[in-house]
Amino acid sequence: MTSGGGPDTLPFMKVRIAPSLLAADFSKLGDEVRAVEIGGADLLHFDVMDGHFVPPITVGAIAVRDLRKGTRLPLDVHLMVDRPDDLVDQFIDAGAACVTVHAEAARHLDRTVRYVKSRGVRAGVAINPATPLNAVYYVLGLVDIVLVMSVNPGWGGQPFLDYTLAKIEALKGEIRHRKLQTLIQVDGGVKLDNIGKIAKAGADIVVAGTAVFSTPDYAVAIRDLRATAVAALQKQ
């Protein structure tokens, strides 16, 4: 029934849904945020791209500051930027609940993670599809979230890379083996037809951009994603 068989497995049955605002309509961002909040989102995923680490440029801390005023949902900031150390303060000051930096971009990852935590917010480390898990092993006990990219970062609407499932499974095994509380977040290409296997592999938080914002009813999309994930976990 459950993956581990004991009562301590119950928290793993919860899968949090984080709609990615990258796929929202930026001409009415406040309304989009309210709609997913009412629709049952657990947190809001906010993608920051700098035109260097990834080609596109999105938006900065000012948007986080203003969105913060209109929602109670935690703002989960995914920094796809070079030199994240130069930017983390801006996003924390703007009201981010969680700041995630890429292992490939943070030269002194341990220092950056410790700094983010010292500012009283959750710290996440993201790894690109081709980056080995070793990149996070030594900071695994320090970070709150490991974000496993399941597409190459930079754009929404890309197909999920199936080989990342093995990486999610291996990471979950390591977290359980070390009895850590670290959460696994999976970002990119999550859809109704694959969220079950993503949850079974060990995702605690799934980011969903187009799977939410390209549908006519966000509440239905969020509900169906969560229900499909939970059903897959119950079948294990």
Q: What residues act catalytically?
A: 47, 187
Choose the contact partner of 209 out of ligand DX5, Zn ion, none; CB within 5 to 8 A by kind. Answer: ligand DX5
208 contacts ligand DX5 (rule: CB under 6 A): yes
Kindly state whether residue 47 participates in binding ligand DX5, applying the rule CB under 6 A: yes
State the minimum distance, in angstroms, from the CB of residue 53 to Zn ion.
12
Q: Is 200 in the site for ligand DX5 (CB under 6 A)?
A: no
Q: Which is nearer to ligand DX5, 111 or 209 (CB)?
A: 209
Select the binding partner of residue 24 from Zn ion, ligand DX5, none (C-beta < 5 to 8 A, by kind).
none
Tokens of 67: 């969105």
Single out the segment in contact with ligand DX5 by CB under 6 A; choices: 96-104, 117-125, 155-163, 216-224.
155-163
Distances (CA, A) of 132 to 45, 137, 164, 170: 24, 10, 10, 11
Instruction: Please select the residue that binds ligand DX5; options are 95, 124, 156, 196, rule is CB under 6 A.
Output: 156
Beta strands (DSSP E) in 81-130 are 98-102, 122-127
Q: Does 124 bind ligand DX5 (CB under 6 A)?
A: no
Contacts of 118 (CB under 8 A, 6+ apart): none
23/99 with CB nearer ligand DX5: 23
Task: Give me the residue label for tokens 């980056």.
Answer: 131
Question: Which stretch, 92-100, 129-137, 138-146, 203-211, contacts ligand DX5 (CB under 6 A)?
Answer: 203-211
Contact at 8 Å (CB) between 172 and 184? yes
When the beta carbons of 30 and 56 are compared against ligand DX5, the nearer one is: 56
Is residue 29 classed as helix, strand or coil in its secondary structure?
A: helix
- Cα separation, 175 vs 33, whole angstroms: 32
Closest CA relative to residue 100, chosen from 72, 128, 62:
128
Nearest to 218 by CA among 42, 35, 45: 35
Q: Which residues have a Cβ under 8 Å from the Cβ of 22 and sit 6 or more positions away?
A: 45, 47, 58, 156, 209
Q: Which does 79 bind (CB under 5 to 8 A by kind): ligand DX5, Zn ion, none?
A: none
- Please pick, from the candidates 209, 218, 222, 229, the single residue that binds ligand DX5 as defined by CB under 6 A: 209
Pairwise CA distance, residues 121 & 100, whole Å: 10
> Which residues lie near ligand DX5 (CB under 6 A)?
20, 22-23, 45, 47, 78, 151, 153-158, 187-190, 207-211
